[in-house]
Amino acid sequence: MRVLLVADIHANLTALDAVIADAGPVDAVWCLGDTVGYGPRPNECSDWVAANASITVLGNHDAACLGRVDITEFNPAAQAATRWTAGNLSARTREWLASLPFQVVEGDLTLVHGSPRDPVWEYLLDAASANENFAYFDTRVCLVGHTHVPAVFARTRDGRGAVARPARADTAFELTARRCIVNPGSVGQPRDGDPRAAYAILDTAAGSLTPRRCDYDIAETQRQMAEAELPPVLSARLAYGL
């Protein structure tokens, strides 16, 4: 089965459309959360994910836009975007987001937004924090989002540590050799210095995962954000991928 893996779409419909076209035919879509927040098209992105993804988990921004979590720890721009999103969600989007689980186990894979230890809030940015999280899931592989940085953390051979492996675009890596935690990066707001949309293709038969990047019309998303009067700083960062 060829699975399109998306995370952190963040209401960036232009980026999502580019990813869908770039991915080509797939057998399934799985979404690792934060479908909304930051961007200008929360309902359109949610409608597509709700209709096409067989698995979707809840992200921290999704929860924030539902009023389920305290947003005082968000920076002012993120707070403003959360308030805008909360005020612009359709009843259908709100109901769909409210139905999403924090974690899903599918065969040999666990899917969460942040980390298996703390599915909503923890950021897995380095091998040390990834290492601590191997104790919190039972499957071979855990798929995460949240950091907006493509990453692979693999268990060391002795099963006691973790190492960061390169998550190079268009380079498939085996998911079967070691336990690992994988982040496909962000569709709608990449933060690794590469402004292109990030996603991954999972091949369940081959047991491999391929990180991918694709260009999208960043200026169009920025135009939509200006029209919605979303904070300019959130719009500007899209051009830099930071």
Site for Zn ion in 27-66 (CB under 5 A): 34
- State the number of binding residues for Zn ion (CB under 5 A): 2
Q: Could you tell me the smallest distance in angstroms from the CB atom of residue 187 to Zn ion?
A: 10
- Out of 3, 4, 8, 31, point to the residue binding Zn ion (CB under 5 A): 8
**Residue number with CB closer to Zn ion (145 or 211):** 145
Q: Could you tell me the smallest distance in angstroms from the CB atom of residue 148 to Zn ion?
A: 6
**Residue number with CB closer to Zn ion (178 or 221):** 221
- How many angstroms separate the CA atoms of 231 and 83, rounded? 11
Nearest CA to 33 out of 102, 91, 86, 90 is that of 102
**Residue number with CB closer to Zn ion (86 or 172):** 86
Q: Could you tell me the smallest distance in angstroms from the CB atom of residue 33 to Zn ion?
A: 7
3-state helix, strand, coil in the chain (%, to 5): 30, 20, 45
Contact, 97 vs 113, CB < 8 A? no
**Residue number with CB closer to Zn ion (7 or 209):** 7
Helix axes 13-23, 42-52, angle to 10 degrees: 30
Q: 107-128 b/e with 16+ CB inside 10 Å = b? A: eebbbbbbbbbbbbebbbeebe
Nearest CA to 186 out of 149, 152, 143, 233 is that of 149
Binding segment toward Zn ion, per CB under 5 A, in 6-14, 19-27, 78-86, 168-176: 6-14
**Residue number with CB closer to Zn ion (12 or 43):** 12
**Residue number with CB closer to Zn ion (118 or 203):** 118
Q: Could you tell me the smallest distance in angstroms from the CB atom of residue 57 to Zn ion?
A: 12
Is 192 an interacting residue with respect to Zn ion (CB under 5 A)? Answer: no
Contact, 86 vs 65, CB < 8 A? yes
Closest chain position to Zn ion (CB): 34
Q: Could you tell me the smallest distance in angstroms from the CB atom of residue 36 to Zn ion?
A: 10
Contact, 89 vs 67, CB < 8 A? no
- How many angstroms separate the CA atoms of 187 and 200, rounded? 10
Q: Could you tell me the smallest distance in angstroms from the CB atom of residue 79 to Zn ion?
A: 14
| Interface positions with Zn ion (CB under 5 A) | 8, 34
